[in-house]
């Protein structure tokens, strides 16, 4: 029987798979398994305990935590008790935390550790709806979440749980995810059980997960991308390993030897840069072979389109070079799933060539999230696109190029914001704000963000995303933002890849003491100028970057310049570097 509500997945998993290692976390140096029976029992006990605390159907509960089995268990337990999850990034600023928890009238909060407990405790006086904070870790002075499950064990409200579950319909609200705001407060995207489940089941077709597969999870569970895929993982009976931290992903990959993992392009770029940096350290024939294979991979085409001689060389490259790439990723990776931002086509090519297919997809929080995705079915991959539209979802390109989406995955609306909802959804079509086109009448291609497209003073429209993606293909460039609205020409703020540039400076005999000093060096500026010129040749005259400035400090989430999924907050960067931008155009 197909699940109708998200919590239906737990008894289904236990009945169909009954695995001893459904969820796993690394505790004291060892991977500790949570069996499907344990997960189901603990979720039920949590529900019973929440009833004891007086939880009413529709009450909001927030999970603010790193990825861990407790996140999944708490989510399922509160949902089947009639609660609504309001998940929040652990790195969210205090200002946004206060706004979200008050806007959603959150009653209870689950936090992972002492640091987050301290943060929420300090805000508690400003949160009139918040009754209590519970922790997953043992924290001095804090209530541990086991107090709720033990309370539930003492009074097994089995009948009340069954009645509550029966009262919850697939169309009912399950989660409110607040999208990161740039200039205004974040908006609460309301997603139903049906929204998320329909998307997961549709994605079960392109992604062929099975009970033998291991997944490494490290993208935040409060983001709809990882949350929906977790639903799909549980539906498919896989074992989910939760990475210790972003810093330990490489170690965890080698230990877990996953068959799949999800990522954002930014992390994939870092993996690639590390591989290339190690290749640059090689000497003699080894170095020559490494870069021969690298350049071969960058020319990769699907279905043997480069001919037999290329395929013959690629087999050799796979045996002597790319096999080491696969070993570094555990040796079992069937494919990597990428979303959240545009993937550079060169990365898709070279990882495919190396036998590590990267399946790029596209979606939004408002679409639960997947709209289209490249996948392993025949004729279902096209580099430079986000793949075919998934089952039961419709896409239409409006007359101005905006992507419109219709389907069971489209959100219920924005919480407490009927005006924004009416603006976003018209005649059942969700207006994404993204620009796109269809390639070969099958593959969706993203061409830019409608709000980011700007007009120069000469009346020419510029889509900065395309130029930025092209510039980031350079090994010298880490981050970039193209500017020029109502100006005479487009320009760019560039953060060099200082790891690579430092090595380049060493080889060229260029001395420096700080990143700032390096970014001001004439030879560094001249070398990056060549990279800009290379990209300019591929664009129309009015799209060419006429001037640029190098920045010495990378943009980060903590500094407020990046969203949690690593997208640049354009308005924040524009304001922060206003004087520098004026210098460019003076």
Rounded to the nearest angstrom, the gap between the alpha carbon of residue 476 and the centroid of all alpha carbons in its chain is 24
Alpha helices in 390-541 (DSSP H): 418-424, 464-471, 498-508, 515-520, 522-536
CATH (one of 2.40.70.10, 3.90.260.10, 3.40.50.300, 3.30.300.30) for 454-585: 3.30.300.30
Tell whether the model's pLDDT for residue 566 goes beyond 70: yes
264-449 shares the fold of 6-193: yes
pLDDT tens sequence across 295-307:
999 999 999 999 9
| 358 phi, psi to nearest 5 deg | -105, 120
pLDDT at 523: 94
Tell whether the model's pLDDT for residue 183 goes beyond 60: no
Q: What is the rounded distance in angstroms from the CA atom of residue 424 to the CA atom of residue 429?
A: 8
- Rg, the chain, Cα only: 25
Residue 539 forms beta bridges with which residues? none
Give 139's DSSP letter.
Answer: -
CA atoms within 13 A on the CB side of 156: 5
Which of these, 365, 358, 356, 404, lies nearest to 385 by C-alpha position? 358
Tokens 């996948």 appear where? 375
Tokens 């550079």 appear where? 344
Q: How many CB atoms lie within 10 A of CB 162?
A: 11
The full set of domain ranges for the chain reads 6-193, 264-449, 454-585
pLDDT at 540: 87
Tell whether the model's pLDDT for residue 182 goes beyond 60: no
Q: What is the rounded distance in angstroms from the CA atom of residue 50 to the CA atom of residue 108?
A: 10
Q: How many CB atoms lie within 10 A of CB 127?
A: 18
Q: Output b/e per residue, 266-285; b: 16+ Cβ within 10 A.
A: bbbbbbbeebeeebeeeeee
Domain covering 264-449 in this structure, CATH number: 3.40.50.12780
Which of these, 164, 353, 197, lies nearest to 345 by C-alpha position? 353
pLDDT at 14: 95
pLDDT at 181: 56
Q: What is the rounded distance in angstroms from the CA atom of residue 309 to the CA atom of residue 442?
A: 30
Q: Which two tokens stand for residue 212?
A: 């033998």
Q: Evaluate whether 48 touches 152 at the Cβ level (below 8 Å).
A: yes
Which of these, 150, 147, 141, lies nearest to 120 by C-alpha position? 141
Banded pLDDT at 20 (limits 50, 70, 90): very high
Which of these, 218, 272, 223, lies nearest to 245 by C-alpha position? 218
Rounded mean pLDDT of 213-227?
Answer: 95
pLDDT at 266: 81
Banded pLDDT at 155 (limits 50, 70, 90): very high
Q: What percent of the chain has pLDDT over 90?
A: 81
Q: Is 150 helix (H, G, I), strand (E, B) or coil?
A: helix
Tell whether the model's pLDDT for residue 184 goes beyond 80: no
Distances (CA, A) of 484 to 468, 473, 549: 13, 21, 13
CA atoms within 13 A on the CB side of 376: 15
Give 379's DSSP letter.
Answer: T
Domain 6-193 belongs to what architecture?
3-Layer(aba) Sandwich (3.40)
């Amino acid at each position: 029987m197909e699940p109708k509500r998200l919590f239906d997945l737990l008894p289904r998993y236990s009945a169909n798979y009954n695995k001893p290692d459904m969820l796993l976390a690394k505790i004291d140096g060892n991977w500790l398994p949570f069996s499907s029976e344990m997960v189901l029992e603990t979720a039920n006990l949590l529900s019973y305990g929440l009833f004891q605390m007086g939880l009413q159907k529709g009450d909001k509960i927030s999970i603010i935590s790193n990825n861990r089995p407790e996140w999944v268990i708490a989510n399922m337990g509160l949902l089947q008790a009639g609660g609504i999850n309001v998940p929040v990034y652990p790195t969210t600023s205090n200002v946004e935390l206060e706004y979200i928890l008050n806007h959603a009238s959150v009653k209870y909060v689950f936090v992972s550790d002492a640091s987050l407990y301290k943060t929420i405790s300090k805000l508690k006086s400003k949160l009139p709806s918040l009754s209590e904070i519970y922790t997953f870790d043992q924290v001095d002075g804090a209530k541990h979440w086991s107090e709720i499950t033990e309370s539930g064990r003492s009074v097994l409200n089995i009948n009340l749980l069954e009645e509550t579950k029966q009262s919850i319909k697939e169309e009912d609200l399950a989660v409110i995810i607040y999208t990161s705001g740039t200039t205004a407060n974040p908006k609460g995207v309301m997603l139903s059980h049906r929204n998320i489940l329909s998307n997961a089941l549709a994605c079960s077709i392109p992604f062929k997960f099975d009970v033998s597969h291991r997944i490494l999870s490290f993208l935040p569970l409060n983001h709809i991308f990882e949350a929906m895929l977790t639903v799909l993982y549980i539906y498919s009976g896989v074992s989910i390993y939760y990475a210790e931290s972003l810093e330990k992903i490489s170690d965890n990959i080698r230990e877990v030897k996953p068959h799949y993992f999800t990522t954002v392009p930014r992390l994939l770029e870092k993996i690639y840069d590390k591989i290339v940096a190690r290749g640059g350290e090689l000497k003699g024939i080894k170095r020559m072979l490494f870069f021969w294979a690298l350049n071969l991979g960058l020319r990769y085409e699907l279905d043997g389109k480069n001919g037999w001689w290329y395929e013959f060389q690629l087999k050799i490259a796979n045996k002597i070079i790319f096999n080491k790439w696969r070993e570094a990723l555990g040796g079992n990776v069937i494919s990597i799933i990428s979303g959240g931002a545009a993937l550079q086509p060169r990365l898709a090519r070279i990882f495919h060539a190396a036998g590590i297919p990267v399946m790029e997809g596209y979606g939004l929080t408002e679409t639960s999230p997947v709209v289209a995705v490249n996948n392993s079915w025949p004729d279902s991959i096209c580099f430079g696109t986000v793949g075919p539209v998934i089952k039961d979802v419709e896409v239409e390109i409006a007359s101005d190029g905006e992507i419109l989406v219709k389907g069971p995955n489209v959100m219920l609306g924005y919480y407490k914001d009927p005006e924004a909802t009416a603006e976003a959804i018209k005649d059942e079509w969700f207006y994404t704000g993204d620009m796109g086109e269809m390639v070969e009448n099958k593959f969706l291609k993203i061409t830019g963000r409608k709000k980011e497209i700007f007009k120069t003073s000469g009346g020419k429209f510029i889509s900065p995303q395309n130029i930025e993606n092209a510039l980031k293909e350079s090994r010298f460039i880490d981050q970039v933002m193209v500017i020029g609205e109502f100006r005479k020409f487009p320009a760019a703020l560039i953060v060099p890849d200082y790891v690579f540039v430092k090595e380049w400076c060493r080889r060229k005999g260029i001395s420096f003491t700080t990143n700032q000093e390096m970014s001001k060096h004439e030879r560094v500026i001249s070398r990056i100028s060549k990279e800009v010129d290379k990209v300019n040749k591929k664009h129309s005259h009015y799209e060419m970057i006429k001037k640029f400035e190098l920045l010495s400090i990378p943009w980060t989430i903590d500094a407020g310049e990046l969203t949690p999924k690593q997208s640049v907050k354009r308005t924040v960067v524009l304001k922060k570097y206003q004087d520098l931008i004026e210098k460019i155009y003076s």
